[in-house]
Amino acid sequence: MSSTVTPPPRKMNRLGLEVLQYKGSKTTLCAGCGHNSVSERIVECFYELGVNPYTVAKFSGIGCSSKSPAYFLGLSHGFNSVHGRMPSIATGALLANATLLGIGVTGDGDTASIGIGQFMHLVRRNLPMIYVIENNGVYGLTKGQFSATADVGSTLKTGVHNELPPFDCCALALKWGATFVARSFSGDKRQLQAILKAAIAHHGLSVIDVISPCVTFNDHEGSTKSYAYMKEHEEVLQELDFVPAFEDITVEIPEGEVLDVQMHDGSHLRIRKLHRDFNPTDRLATLAALEDAEAKEEVLTGVLYVNTSKPTFLELLNLGDAPIATLPESKVRPPKAALDEAMDELR
C-alpha cells in the first residue's frame, strides 16, 4: 500500500515571503567570525517584521564587515562604496529616494579610523537609516592591525601593545546628537534581534555598535574584543522586548517596572532594567555610565539612548516624498528661462 507524505506547510511572514527570500549569497568570511552572526540576525529581523526587501537599500564601505551586505537581503538594493565613505553614498541615495529603508554595515576601521569625519556628519544630520558597526578592534581585511576602537593595553597576536586611547563610537554618537544608540554583542542573539527590530522602527539614525570578534586576528588572550573577554566583561543593562505594530500588546506590565517606548510606526520597545538604575532617555546619564564602565573595564550592552522626537534630516530639508527618479522632466529640469536668469546674475 502506498502512502503519500504531505510536506509541512512552508513558513511565511505577513507579506507571504519565506525566510529564504531575505538571505543573500553564501558567506566568504572566516568560520566563527562575529560578522556572520550579525548577518543572520539581520535576515531574521527583516523576515519576522515583514519588511519588503525591494524597499531596502544596503550600504557599506570596505572591510570584512563591509562585505556583509552580500550575505543578507539578496533582493534589496546595495552599494559597496569606498573605505570610510559609506555615509556620503547613503545620504545621497536616501535624499534621492526617501521611501527606501537604509541599512549600513561598517567596521570599526571603516567608521572610527578613516571614516570618522563622515560618521560625525551622518550623526549630526540624523539621517534616517540603520548604521551597524561590526566592532572587532582591528582591520580584519588587511590582516589585523589595531583600529581606533582598540583598548589601551590590548595586544595583537604578535605581542604589540596598543598605547592609544580608544574611540567609543556610542559615546561619540551621543555627543554628536544621535537619536538611537545601542551596543550589543554578536554572540547575544536575543538582545541583538530586539535592538535591530527597534532600529528598523526608529525614525532617525540608529547607531548600533556590535562587538563582533575577529576569530582570525583578535580572539586571543590580551584582546578586549574576543569572545572570552565579552563573556567575562559584558554588563547587560536591560531585558528588551520588541512588539511590532501589527501585533497586539497582550502582556500587561505593572507601571514603573518597564519603560515602554512607542516608536514612530506604532510598535513598542519594552525595556526592563536589570541590575542597575539606568535610564536610556537621559543622555547625560548615559554618557556618565559609559565613562564609568570604561574605567571599570565593563562593556555595557543594551539600548543606551533613545529619543523619538528629534526631526530627521529629510524632514529638515522638507523634501517631497516622491523619489527623484519618478519625477517628470518638467520638475527636475529647470526651464530655459530659469537658466537664462541664473546666467544673467553671473554676468
Task: Output 62 or 289, the one with its CB closest to ligand TPP.
Answer: 62
> Binding string to ligand TPP for residues 116 to 155, with x set by CB under 6 A, is what?
------------------x-x-xxxxx----x--------
- In the region spanning residues 75 to 94, those forming contacts with ligand SF4, defined by CB under 6 A, are none
Question: Which residue among 22, 24, 35, 172 contacts ligand SF4 (CB under 6 A)?
Answer: 35
Say whether residue 73 binds ligand SF4 (CB under 6 A). Answer: no
> Is residue 32 within 8 Å of residue 40, measured between CB atoms?
no
For residues 61-98, one letter each, b for 16 or more C-beta atoms within 10 angstroms of the residue's C-beta and e for the rest, the string is bbbbbbbbbbbbbbebbbebbebbbbbbbbbebbeebb
Say whether residue 185 binds ligand TPP (CB under 6 A). Answer: no
Min. distance of Cβ 158 from ligand TPP in angstroms? 17
Min. distance of Cβ 35 from ligand SF4 in angstroms? 5
Q: Which three cell numbers stand for residue 336?
A: 530655459
Say whether residue 136 binds Mg ion (CB under 5 A). Answer: yes
Min. distance of Cβ 103 from ligand TPP in angstroms? 16
Q: In what order do the strands lie in the sheet with 205-211?
A: 77-80, 56-60, 101-107, 129-135, 205-211, 180-185, 299-306, 234-236
Task: Output 97 or 136, the one with its CB closest to ligand SF4.
Answer: 136
Q: Is 255 left (phi over 0), alpha (psi -120 to 50) or beta?
A: beta
Q: Which residue has the cell 579610523?
A: 113
> Is residue 303 within 8 Å of residue 238, measured between CB atoms?
yes
Task: Output 136 or 191, the one with its CB closest to ligand SF4.
Answer: 136
Amino acid (one-letter) located at 281: T
> Is residue 19 within 8 Å of residue 42, measured between CB atoms?
no
Say whether residue 211 binds ligand SF4 (CB under 6 A). Answer: no
Give the bridge partners for 270, in sequence order: 241, 260
Say whether residue 225 binds ligand TPP (CB under 6 A). Answer: no
Q: Which residue has the cell 530655459?
A: 336
Which region among 38-46, 103-111, 260-268, 308-316 touches Mg ion (by CB under 5 A)? 103-111
- In the region spanning residues 160 to 179, those forming contacts with ligand TPP, defined by CB under 6 A, are none
> Binding string to ligand TPP for residues 76 to 115, with x set by CB under 6 A, is what?
-------x-----------------------xxxx---x-
**What does R_g of the chain's alpha carbons equal in angstroms?**
22
- Site of interaction with ligand SF4 (CB under 6 A): 29-30, 33, 35, 64, 136, 140-141, 214-217
- Site of interaction with ligand TPP (CB under 6 A): 62-65, 83, 107-110, 114, 134, 136, 138-142, 147, 214
